[in-house]
Copies of this chain bind each other. A is one copy, B any other.
Amino acid sequence: MAATIRDVARVAGVGLGTVSRVLNNSPLVSAATRQRVLAVMAELRYNPSQIARNFALGKTLTVATIAPFFTRPSVVERLRGIEATLTASGYHLVVFNVEAVERRDECLREAVRNDRADGLLLVSLAPRPDEAVALREAHLPVVLIDTCAEGLPGVSIDDVAGGHLATSHLIALGHRRIAFIGDPETDPLTFNFTSSRDRMLGYQQALAAAKLPLNPAYERHGLHGRYEARVLARELLHLPEPPTAIFAASDTQAMGVLEAARDLHLPVPEALAVVGFDDIDIAEYLGLTTVRQPLFESGARAVELLFLLLSGAAPPPAERLPVELVVRRTSMKNR
């Protein structure tokens, strides 16, 4: 059916190897024969079989990405960065969306068992120690995004600093009763994924630095989602001494807080200041003050690190991207 390298060789009256060399732009071909081969290729409408090529090379020119919750806007933005950088280099991106623990484990197992990808990108999700050794043994290069793990290259941010930034901003505005809403302390899905915890750490450190008391009742944890955060925020706002400001570990959760404020007819920022994290697309629309992190860039940079690994380089150290406070309406000065 489709023409093969052999057909081209026969018609062009040259050897197999020569056609292969032309394909790979080898300099070991005279201009004349190259032209002839090229002409025959065009004539026969030959196109090389990628899958045979992969087989012979032992490479797939594909990298797999495992990410929890496609739908999370921050993850999507990272994927955008990954896709753009990958396809710019002729690589393909295969994606796995894990929304349950079983899938998480299965995807990781599959990734090491299979050789269908040359490298692996893990978004907001760290391998367990046993998974890490499996990865190493399978010689499957991995780069982490938005997480850290002993000895594995990755690109993340300083979540502690980010939490500190957000909280000191609220303190500077005169708030003294500042609450925190974040993810559950442990989550089997995103093993060792400490973003939320670190942001809380930054929150606590900022309070301590300002000699403000740490009120455990002001620290709430729930599944990452608007609805869950809304419930938690409502609880906070019903406290005998409710917070005047809430720092949420993500913009999604901050949206839940805004909903709660609306439920209780609390004007924002007058009665309640709100700060989120990530600066997802919608944050600007909502006028949400937030801590911006370079999402697209994190994906792009991770791919670059992976390419380094694929080229045989030693595992580069983990990198940190900068964060930045973006002040908007939900935390305007008002007191």
Report A's interface with B, CB cutoff 8 A: 47, 49-52, 54-55, 58, 60, 62, 64, 70-71, 73, 76-77, 79-80, 83-84, 87, 92-97, 113-116, 226, 255, 259, 281-282, 285
A94 and B97 contacting across the interface, CB-CB below 8 Å: no
Q: Within the complex, which residue of B51, B71, B93, B259 is in contact with A55, where a contact is CB–CB below 8 Å?
A: B51
Evaluate contact between A70 and B60: CB separation under 8 angstroms.
no
Chain A binding site: helix, strand, loop or mixed by DSSP? helix
| Bound-state Cα–Cα, A77 to B99, Å | 13
User: Whole-angstrom distance between the alpha carbons of A307 and B255 in the complex?
Assistant: 39
Q: How far is the CB of A234 from chain B (nearest CB, A)?
A: 15
A94 to B95, CA, bound (A): 6
Asked if A95 and B96 make an inter-chain contact with CB atoms under 8 angstroms apart, the answer reads no
* Shortest distance between the CB of A314 and any CB in chain B (Å): 20
Our pick among B73, B80, B116 for the contact of A92 (Cβ within 8 Å) is: B116
- Bound together, the chains give a CA A60 to CA B94 distance in angstroms of 12
Bound: A115/B48 CA distance, A: 9
Interchain CB contact (< 8 A) of A80 among B55, B70, B116, B255: B70
User: A115 and B49 in contact (CB under 8 A), knowing A76-B76, A226-B285?
Assistant: yes
Query: Complex Cα distance A197/B218, Å?
Result: 51
| From B55, B73, B97, contact of A83 by CB (8 A) | B97
B80 lies within 8 A of A97 (CB): yes
Instruction: Please state if B285 and A255 are interface contacts (CB–CB under 8 Å).
Output: yes
Q: How many copies does the complex hold?
A: 2
Of the candidates B50, B83, B226, B285, the one whose C-beta lies within 8 Å of that of A96 is B83
A-B pairs, 3 with minimum CB distance: A55-B55, A92-B94, A94-B94
| Set B76, B93, B259: member contacting A71, Cβ < 8 A | B76
Assess the A94–B62 pair: CB atoms within 8 A: yes
Taken together as a complex, chains A and B put the C-alpha atoms of A52 and B53 apart, in Å, by 11
CA A31 – CA B50 in complex, angstroms? 38
Q: How far is the CA of A266 from the CA of B294 in the complex (A)?
A: 35
- Chain B residue nearest to A103 in the complex (CB): B87
Q: Which residues of B contact A52 (CB under 8 A)?
A: 55
Residues of B within 8 A of A282 (CB): 282
Residue of B nearest to A113 (CB): B47
Q: What chain B residues lie within 8 Å of A79 (beta carbons)?
A: 70
Contact yes or no, B95 A93, CB < 8 A: yes
Name the residue of chain B whose CB is nearest to the CB of A47. Answer: B113
* Interface pair A51/B115, CB less than 8 Å apart: yes
Contact between B49 and A70 (Cβ–Cβ < 8 Å)? no
Contacts of A49 in B (CB 8 A): 115
Enumerate chain B residues within 8 angstroms of A95, measured Cβ to Cβ: 83, 93-95
| Closest Cβ neighbor of A90 among chain B residues | B110
User: Please, which residues of chain B bring their CB within 8 A of the CB of A92?
Assistant: 64, 94, 116
- Give the CA-CA distance A62 to B93 in the complex, in Å: 11
